[in-house]
Amino acid sequence: MISTADSARNQIASLLSPDEAFCDDFAKHSESKGSRVQYFLTELEATLRASQGQFSRDDYKSLRSFSETVSPDFILPRAEVATDEEIAEFYRLGNRILIEDAIAVGHEDEPFLPEHRNLLEQSSLRLTKEIACDVNWSVESIHARGLRLAKLAVNTWTFSRTINF
């Protein structure tokens, strides 16, 4: 029976995965639904900006409304995917970016070309812009990016065990 704020907090905390497990699961998460990809990447973008001390409440409102002018895209192109494992790799969040409609790359079915980097550098989204700095994309680099995103996710969706109810 939950009778105090402390017992409620402890009960909730007992249901949650430790940060390390959450981070590992998030790094491997595959998502095919575009609206969820937009949600995840928008929230991670907000966390990244806030961690750099360059983010206000108005910026957050602007970023949330930004979802109407961006589309989820892929870093590595869609290849011949035959197995469930290959499909999961393709849809990993580490392989997903948000592209503003005004600079849409549209390279889903073709290789990630050097000329796309110039377009990505124009993005106002830091998580998208950082892709332009990477020279070679591979499954390994997608996994590494997924881990970087997962570390941001731990700070985005955290449960403070010291919250006062």
| Average pLDDT per 10 consecutive residues for the chain, totaling 165 residues | 80 81 93 93 90 75 74 77 78 90 60 69 88 79 93 86 47
Q: CA 130 to CA 121: how far, in whole Å? A: 8
Residue with tokens 């065990």: 161
* pLDDT number for residue 96: 92
3-state SS record for the chain? CCCCHHHHHHHHHHHCCCHHHHHHHHHHCECCCHHHHHHHHHHHHHHHHHHCCCCCHHHHHHHHHHHHHEEEEECCCCCCCCCHHHHHHHCEHHHEEEEEHHHCCCCCCCCCCHHHHHHHHCCCCHHHHHHHHCCCCCHHHHHHHHHHHHHHHHHHCCCCCCCCC
Assigned token pair, 57: 């409440």
Q: What residues contact 92, with CB distance under 8 A and at least 6 apart? A: 28, 29, 30, 142, 143, 146
CB 6 within 8 A of CB 137: no
Phi, psi for residue 157 in degrees, rounded to 5:
-115, 75
What's this model's pTM, rounded to 2 decimal places? 0.81
